[in-house]
Amino acid sequence: MNKFEITDDFYLDGKRIKIISGGMHYFRILPEYWRDRLEKLKALGCNTVETYIPWNLHEKHKGSFDFSGILDIAKYVRMAQELELMVILRPSPYICAEWEFGGLPYWLLKEDGMKLRCMYEPYIEHIREYYKVLFEIISPLQVTKGGPVIFMQVENEYGYYGDDGAYMEFLKNLMVEYGCEVPLVTSDGPWDESFKYGKVEGALQTGNFGSKGKAQFDIMRKKIGNKPLMCMEFWVGWFDYWGGEHHVGDLEEHVKDLDELLSEGHVNIYMFEGGTNFGFMNGANYYGKLEPDVTSYDYDALLTEDGQITDKYRAFQKVIGKYTVLPKVSPGSTIERKAYGKFEVTRTADLFHNLTNLAVPVETPYPVCMEKLNQGYGYILYESSLTELNCLEKIRLWKANDRANIFLNERPVLTLYDRELLCEHELEPVTCAAGKLDILVENMGRVNFTPIMEEQRKGIDGPVQLNGCIHYGWTIYTLPMEDLTKVDFSLPAGEGLPGFYEFQFEIDDPADTFLDISGWGKGIVLVNHFNIGRFWEVGPQKTLYVPAPLLKRGANTVIIFETEGKVSDTIQFCDEPKL
């Protein structure tokens, strides 16, 4: 039986070790590529891999658990062990990670009055039920049981959020109760209240920061005394959001900081590889305005989104080589990029005439949010007849998130985003003539940071006012876009309206490629029924990564769901990303 201890330093079976780790999230990388990325991590000189565990994927719907495919964390951890890598697990209910709702499941918000990340009993009970199942999976992976997991983390950056010490104590005790035998740590910014409120008795405090490593360690040393210094998140890049700029870090500064950190303590590089926010799993920030993260989680990491070695990788490898012997790793596979060129649209389909093919309509007097209808992600459409309204002049949506396309008689009249949803809007008077109102609302990704998380119900959670009067009588269609096999392509998409665009093409040799979405407005892309993520013409991301395992030798299908009706006759596959 192995033993990992934290005293004045880290010890494995009585031998002092230096942890040189890289962050890499199994749920952001296709399983077919896990070994390739782990081999590159080991070749860098790292002896450890770190990963979060996303509650919202493993328990997507209450009581329904999934640890298969891209969610097979046991397989991922065992694969790391095969490569003689140690593993750090961060199974906190909340992970941040620029991930949808910080990893919390959407269905928590179905309950009125839900309070997050504190000793609120309904929230606590959900954690108990989740951890009971989760630890049956991860407990056997601990070093004490012959696995590679050397320690686990309690919560995540809690000091940035709250000061409920009883909550932190509860989580620590629950982890132990359900089988955690390895040491525990916390991670927070090493400053003032964040470090103070994020700690819990019996867990080593580690720090998260991206610059001035020596100075940060000096601060931490004064607070934790004669204990090992570790940067749990050494931020070597940053994430991008729609409408913002692409972030690139200062390589020279990061190299200097890495050297200082390794000279005095231990490090986890965040991120070694960022990967991809497939589907609707991007998170968002809110500091005065909504900033939803893009599909790529490239993060300016040591490996690109598709696993290519960068100059940053090579520079870090040289530094790490000063502190350990770099192993010789023979790559198990060769991964190629290819440009497949252009393909023309095969057929199209209108959204409005496919609603009953995609969803069972819900009749209700008033709008209902996604969560109340057991929907977590995607789009939701509210439809109503205006039999008593002669002319539409004003509209207001109450408690609506995040983006609404409004149509009258299936013609666009208004698009509202973020703070625009808080106000009443005057329209050029539109004659209704017993018309039909449709409101298509998109969940752009729940905020993953700050107290606004408790206000992240999506769709419309309040009334709709027309000409100052609350309007009743709605039909609601939930559109998670998980299954598009029932879309009827005999009803072509209308000009300037939401619709589906299908591309059928053949290839001889599947390889990694990048889908250029220039000429399109906003929406999502499914490759052979797999949702590879969102696109939006505002940038900065201009291409979507398509991993080779999603493609097939022979016939392939791409479906684009476009909400703005801004389309191109073709799509193009390139051999490198565009930013």
- Cis amide prior to 13 (ω within 30 degrees): no
Measure the CA–CA gap between 296 and 287, rounded to whole angstroms. Answer: 21
Nearest in space to 473 (alpha carbons), one of 360, 364, 334? 364
54's tokens: 């996303």
Measure the CA–CA gap between 372 and 478, rounded to whole angstroms. Answer: 11
Q: DSSP string spanning 365-408?
A: SS---TGGGT--SSEEEEEEEETT-SEEEEEEESSEESEEEEEE
Q: Is 233 a catalytic residue?
A: yes
What per-residue string of b and e applies to 496-535 under the rule 16 or more CB within 10 Å gives b?
A: ebbbbbbbebebeebbbbbbbbeebbbbbbbbeebbbbbb
9's tokens: 């330093």
Nearest in space to 402 (alpha carbons), one of 441, 374, 437? 441
Place of tokens 């932190």: 168
Task: Cite the DSSP H helix spans in 62-208.
Answer: 73-82, 121-138, 165-177, 192-197
Q: DSSP string spanning 470-524?
A: E---EEEEEE--S--TT--TTSPPPTTS-EEEEEEEEESS--BEEEE-TT--EEE
Query: Which residue among the candidates 50, 157, 273, 383 is catalytic per the annotation?
Result: 157
Query: Which residue among the candidates 39, 59, 100, 233 is catalytic per the annotation?
Result: 233
What's at 447, amino acid-wise? V
End-to-end CA distance of the chain: 49
- Torsional class of 74: left (φ above 0), alpha (ψ -120 to 50), beta (otherwise): alpha
Instruction: Note whether 516 and 571 are within 8 A (CB).
Output: yes
Q: Is 32 a catalytic residue?
A: no
What string of H, E and C letters represents the secondary structure of 222-256?
Answer: HHHCCCCCEEEEEECCCCCECCCCCCCCCHHHHHH
Query: Catalytic residue positions?
Result: 157, 233
